[in-house]
Amino acid sequence: MREAYHVELENLASNLARMSGQVADAMERATRAMLDVDLALAEQVISDDVKVDDARAECEEQAYALLALQAPVATDLRTVLAAIHAAESLERMGDLALHVAKAARRRHPDPVLPEQVRPYFAEMGEAAVRLARQAEEVIKTKDVDAARSIETDDDRVDELHRHLFTVIMDREWPHGVAAAVDVTLLGRFFERYADHAVSVARRMVFVVTGKMPGYTGDNL
């Protein structure tokens, strides 16, 4: 019975890791759609979002079944609880990629971003996708050191996000209010996506150590 239970725990972790890969693919495609004014790619991200929603539902169903049927304790209980919270964060990451794709579709055939800010968003997109890929590996390996190391990319996204405000608030900003609003919203989507990836990694630290970074005085 216990062996079968731990197989179920491993299946749950595998499903979470696969979900992290899905949302990484979604943001990678959404970023390309935004930068390349690619309507077909934006539509793909939008239509694929239901798969992320379904994946969350499957993960939560597995987790609640394990709670109800097995009454886990200690590390096993932390694993199940972390999975429920991580699935929520991963679904939100998928939603944020969806928002980026919808912005690209809304402005098509025009670009949603002025040329002036495209390099910042290209870098933010690369960092965000890298964070999701790293979270996927952390879920698979439960490597605490790897979980802690993703903070660097998150800091860079935060830095770029803050810099965008200085760009759009400059008196010489030539692109008008609508473009400034788009830049503000899109920057927020990338910043929140990165934050959720860090949250997923923190949940894996909690599984291993029993302590939640950021809430116990420990810094991820």
Q: 93-134 pLDDT, tens per residue?
A: 999 999 999 999 999 999 999 999 999 999 999 999 999 999
Q: 3-state DSSP call for residue 73?
A: coil
Question: Half-sphere exposure (CA, 13 Å, Cβ side) for 86?
Answer: 34
Residue 115 is classified by DSSP as G
Q: Which of the listed CATH numbers 1.20.58.220, 3.40.720.10, 3.30.1360.30, 1.10.287.3510 matches domain 2-209?
A: 1.20.58.220
Whether omega before 111 lies within 30 degrees of 0, making that bond cis, reads no
- Placement of tokens 């539509």 in the chain: 43
Q: How far apart are the first and last CA of the chain?
A: 36
d(CA 187, CA 194): 11
- Does the reported pTM lie above 0.75? yes
Among 29-38, 39-48, 70-79, which stretch is predicted with the lowest mean pLDDT? Answer: 70-79
